[in-house]
Amino acid sequence: MIYLDNHATTSCDPRVVDAMLPWLSEDFGNPSSGSHEMGRTAAAAVQQSAATIASILNVPSESVIFTSGATESNNLAIRGVCLHPRQKKRHLVSVTSEHHAVLDVCDDLQRDGFRVTRVPVIPHGHDSSGIVDLDQLAEAIDDDTALVSVMWANNEIGSIAPMKTIADICHSRGVLLHSDATQAVGRIPVDMLDTDVDLLSAAAHKFYGPKGSGLLVVGNGNRRVRLRPQIVGGGQQQGLRSGTLNTAGIVAMATALKLAVDEMESHQERIGQMRNQLFQLLCSGIDGIQLNGIPLASQHRLAGNLNLQLESIEGEAWMAATPSVAFSSGSACSSVDAKPSHVLTATGLSESEARRSVRFGIGRFNTDQQIHQAAEWLIESHAKLRRLS
């Protein structure tokens, strides 16, 4: 099996596994058990992890809240800001190409009486295809807007949003900005103070950490962010997210993020080369392939992302005919319900074009040899499908 689906998840780096294991067995104390040494040791590890993550994202340590993943972080950020008892505003702005972990929270708040504006993205065929339309974003904000939520990097077409410009637009209107940075953190530099993003969601399993460990950064030190907790109980994490802290997952996430950032330049360059190589090989063996999203050479596209449109074969059929290569036809969750990707249709592709599209995510553990082998299998299976159709 050749794994080319690193936007869905990544394998845990063996160095991360080594760092997390002791916290499951020898040092298993509850970080809230301040009455004994084992609890205090675990609490110190959690604190150290928060400090590591905070220094990488350039925020105060107290701003880092640990969660179970980006879905929970997005829920806590958006619902938390909108439903805070002192929140008087009742309008939310987001973008049509967001992950369902943001879109569905907006839908839910809309059912509860909030007004939601979903801003379109620049259409297919333009150099900034898939990036939120900044003029329409500015127009969407009004005096009743409580929060703007814009993803940092898209999980399907890899477009990278101009977060500093977006933050300036929001703050000039006195509105907080949340970003689902799940695909950005660990892949590209993310500095929350420099960009002035107020809230940020991420998940360890996208940067070679374990699943079930995520974070929400609440405030970059520049302005106050009030959140209503969504999970109440033991009052951990300043009461913002109760529940026993997952020490092993937290240590693993901090270790994974430090590795990803320390090694970012070399990994991302190699990943970009493999992605370009895969594109060239597929184009030379299959007629009529089109690239979805921003040009590959652009700085505004994630290095490992490749989203392609076939001339006549559906992505689902190609995947079924190529069982030895793991790739996908959309995000891991939208591929459950067999609908064409809402991200691709948001860029103006027809349902048929979206169904003929697939996504590859090249990652740290891929090799040149795997790229050549995968391309060979993909070209073979495509030719077989063409003969059958």
Ligand X SMILES: Cc1ncc(COP(=O)(O)O)c(C=O)c1O
Of 1 and 336, the one with the shorter C-beta distance to ligand X is 336
DSSP 96-160: TTS-HHHHHHHHHHHHTT-EEEEE-BPPTTSTTTTSB-HHHHHHH--TTEEEEE--SB-TTT-BB
CB nearer ligand X, residue 252 or residue 313: 252
Residues in contact with ligand X, shown as a per-residue x/- string from 82 to 121 under the rule CB under 6 A = -----------------x-x--------------------
Binder to ligand X among 69, 209, 293, 363 (CB under 6 A)?
Answer: 69
The angle subtended at Cα 192 by Cα 14 and Cα 5, nearest 5°, is 40
The answer to the question of residue 182 lying near ligand X (CB under 6 A) is: yes
Phi, psi of 183 (to 5 degrees): -90, -10
Judged by CB under 6 A, the residue of 5, 13, 180, 314 near ligand X is: 180
By CB under 6 A, residue 330 contacts ligand X: no
- String of contacts with ligand X for each residue 142-171, x by CB under 6 A: ---------x---x----------------
Angstrom distances, CA of residue 280 to CA of 54, 127, 218, 275, 306: 39, 20, 42, 9, 11
Name the one range near ligand X by CB under 6 A: 66-74, 263-271, 338-346, 370-378.
Answer: 66-74
* Active-site annotation, residues: 333
Name which of 128 and 159 has its Cβ closer to ligand X: 159
Near ligand X in 42-61, by CB under 6 A = none
Question: For residues 180 and 196, which CB has a smaller minimum distance to ligand X in the complex?
Answer: 180
- Residue written as token pair 């059912």: 111
The CB-of-185 to ligand X minimum distance in angstroms stands at: 10
Instruction: Provide the token pair at 155.
Output: 């999980």
Among 6, 49, 63, 71, binds ligand X (CB under 6 A): 71
The residues pairing with 116 across neighbouring beta strands, listed in sequence order, are: 92
Is residue 301 a contact point for ligand X (CB under 6 A)?
A: no
> What CA–CA distance (Å, rounded) separates 36 from 82?
39
Min. distance of Cβ 91 from ligand X in angstroms? Answer: 22
How does DSSP classify residue 206?
A: G
Residues 194-233, interacting with ligand X (CB under 6 A): 203, 205, 214
> Which of these segments, 86-94, 130-138, 176-184, 277-285, binds ligand X (CB under 6 A)?
176-184
**C-alpha torsion angle, residues 119, 131, 374, 275 (rounded to 10):** -170
In the complex, the smallest distance separating the C-beta of residue 81 from ligand X, rounded to whole angstroms, is 17
With respect to ligand X, which residue has the nearer C-beta, 69 or 363?
A: 69
Q: What is the CA radius of gyration of the chain?
A: 21
Please identify which residue in 63, 128, 329, 331 interacts with ligand X, judged by CB under 6 A: 331
Tokens of 298: 């652009």
- Count residues binding ligand X (CB under 6 A): 15
Toward ligand X, which CB reaches closer, 252 or 310?
A: 252
Burial class (CB in 10 A: 0-12, 13-18, 19+), 25: exposed
Rule CB under 6 A: choose which of 183, 329, 341, 357 binds ligand X: 183
Round to whole Å and give the CA distance between 274 and 156: 18
Tell me the H-state helices in 149-195: 163-172, 192-195
Question: Which spans of this chain sit near ligand X (rule: CB under 6 A)?
Answer: 69-71, 99, 101, 151, 155, 180, 182-183, 203, 205, 214, 331-332
